[in-house]
Structures are given as C-alpha cells and as structure tokens.
C-alpha cells in the first residue's frame, strides 16, 4: 500500500510539472508572438523653412515582432499636419514608408509637431518629434542663403514649369559642404552642390519626373551643412506641383 501511494504521488507530481511547463510555454509563446512596432529615426529637424509652405519627411514604420501590427489612429495635434497611411497594417518582418506633411502657415520662429501613433491596442503610443525654424525670408539667411527658397513646378494649360534652378550663396570665408538628410521620393530629381566655395555661389536644381507631369503633389528636401566647428545647420526647400 505504501509503495502504491508513493507511486500515485509521483504520478500526480509529474502531472503538475507537465501542466506547469505547458502553461509557461503558452505564456512565453504569447509574449513572443505579440506585435512589436518601431519607427526608424523618430526625431527629425527641418531646420530653416519658409513661411506659408508645406514641408514633408518620410519615416519607415516597421513590424519587428511575430504578429501583425495594426495602426489604429494618428494624432498630429492640429489640422496643419497630417500623415496619410498607405495601409493600416504591417505584416511581421515588413515595413512601410509613411509621409509626414506640415503646413507652416503664418507662423514665425521655432515650432514643433509631436504626433502620437496608436497601434495594436497598446496603451502607450509611438511618438514622432519634428521641429523647424520658420522664416519669413530664408533667402537672406546667413551664412548660407538659397534662392528661390521654394521650388514651384506649376502647370497652366499647355505651359509647364518642369524644372527650377536654385542658387546657393556662401557668405563665409570657408567652404560649406552640403548633404541631403531627408528621404527622397519619386516625384522629382533633386540635385544640390556638394560644396559651395568661400564667398561664392553654386547651382543646383529640382526637375520633375515626367511620370508625375499631370499630378499634383507636395514635398520637400532637407539639407545639412557645418555652420561652424561645433554647429550643424539645416534648411528645407519645399517642392510643389500645382495645376492652374
């Protein structure tokens, strides 16, 4: 009888352990199988931007978990900014490029937009942090000025402006080195000089992609340069295709 009771206790103990292991695996599987959402480079500065224009930047939304990410809602904080979604879901291991569009309106000075992205019923939304220095006259800025500071690719009837030349003027006694820091899109080709000579000028241009000749769009390109040994500055050139 004693051996029989001991054997029963052992069987019950082994059963409890098996059940516990099954529960642990189920919990672990649930945790590992949850969606995970990441935004690559969620902080972005447009630098100096013109008043009464629309600037844009694109962000990679990534699904890095084992379940599909569902985007529920995006709150930008005002009607002046919006983020249209190509779709409201991202499969595991996949990503999608999402544009942020910001109308500067009549504002002047430092400004920011900090959208909330709500996803897969998580209580804590993802965040973006975007800032700009809005200027009334970017073509008079120092040490670098740009003219024109907007690229208007307009069309009226049979007349179409498909390219815009841009002049970069360096007001310093040292060369300025430019680099593009925003994501480029397909609507246009943007070319800027690598270096602007001391107290000199250099040329660049924006050219319309013919595939978008009959489509309206807004966008922008952000560039960066070293204004001093300890400071980098940015500026953004708005680009628009408008039908009249």
pLDDT, tens digit (0-9, with 9 covering 90-100), for 170-204: 999 999 999 999 999 999 999 999 999 999 999 99
* DSSP 8-state code for residue 64: -
- Predicted local distance difference test score (pLDDT) of residue 139: 83
- Predicted local distance difference test score (pLDDT) of residue 32: 54
Let me know: does 42 contact 70? Beta carbons within 8 Å. no
- Predicted local distance difference test score (pLDDT) of residue 68: 96
Is it the case that residue 221 has pLDDT exceeding 60? yes
Residue ranges per structural domain of the chain: 1-32, 37-135, 138-243
Q: Which residue in this structure is represented by tokens 């379940």?
A: 67
Environment class of 109 (CB within 10 Å of its CB; exposed 0-12, middle 13-18, buried 19+): exposed
- Predicted local distance difference test score (pLDDT) of residue 28: 39
Cα separations in angstroms, 216 against 51, 112, 173, 205 = 20, 26, 41, 19
Lookup: tokens for 59 = 């962000």
Closest CA to 217 of 240, 237, 184: 240
Lookup: tokens for 205 = 């241009």
Let me know: does 194 contact 180? Beta carbons within 8 Å. no
Environment class of 138 (CB within 10 Å of its CB; exposed 0-12, middle 13-18, buried 19+): buried
Let me know: does 83 contact 74? Beta carbons within 8 Å. yes
pLDDT digits (tens, 9 = 90+) for 33-82: 799 999 999 999 999 999 999 999 999 999 999 999 999 999 999 999 99
- Predicted local distance difference test score (pLDDT) of residue 26: 34
Q: How far apart are CA 63 and CA 98, in angstroms?
A: 13
Let me know: does 196 contact 176? Beta carbons within 8 Å. yes
- Predicted local distance difference test score (pLDDT) of residue 121: 78
- Predicted local distance difference test score (pLDDT) of residue 1: 46
Show the DSSP H helices in the chain as ranges: 2-32
- pLDDT band with cut points at 50, 70 and 90 for residue 27: very low
Would you state the CATH architecture of domain 37-135? Sandwich (2.60)
Is it the case that residue 166 has pLDDT exceeding 70? yes
User: If you average pLDDT over residues 104-114, what whole number do you get?
Assistant: 95
Q: How far apart are CA 102 and CA 86, in angstroms?
A: 18
Q: How far apart are CA 238 and CA 244, in angstroms?
A: 18
| Fold assignment, 138-243 | Immunoglobulin-like (2.60.40)
pLDDT digits (tens, 9 = 90+) for 1-20: 444 454 554 455 444 454 44
pLDDT digits (tens, 9 = 90+) for 135-162: 998 888 899 999 999 999 999 999 999 9
């Amino acid at each position: 009888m004693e051996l029989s009771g001991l054997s029963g206790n052992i069987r019950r103990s082994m059963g409890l352990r098996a059940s516990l292991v099954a529960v642990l695996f189920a919990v672990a599987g649930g945790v590992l199988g949850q969606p995970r959402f990441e935004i690559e480079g969620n902080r972005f500065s447009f630098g100096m931007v013109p008043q009464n224009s629309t600037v844009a930047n694109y962000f990679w939304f990534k699904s890095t978990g084992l379940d599909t990410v569902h985007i529920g809602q995006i709150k930008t904080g005002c009607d002046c900014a919006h983020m249209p979604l190509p779709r409201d879901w991202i499969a595991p291991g996949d990503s999608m490029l999402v544009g942020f569009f910001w109308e500067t309106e009549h504002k002047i000075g430092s400004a920011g937009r900090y959208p909330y992205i709500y996803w897969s019923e998580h209580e804590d939304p993802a965040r973006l942090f975007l800032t700009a220095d809005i200027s009334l006259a970017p073509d008079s800025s120092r040490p670098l000025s740009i003219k024109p500071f907007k690229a208007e690719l307009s069309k009226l009837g049979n007349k179409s402006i498909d390219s815009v030349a841009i002049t970069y003027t360096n007001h310093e006694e040292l060369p300025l080195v430019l680099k593009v820091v925003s994501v480029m899109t397909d609507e246009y080709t943007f070319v800027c000089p690598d270096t602007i000579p001391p107290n000199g000028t250099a040329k660049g241009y924006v050219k319309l992609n013919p595939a978008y000749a009959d489509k309206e769009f807004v966008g922008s390109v952000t560039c960066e340069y070293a204004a001093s040994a300890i400071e980098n500055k940015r500026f953004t050139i708005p680009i628009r295709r408008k039908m009249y």
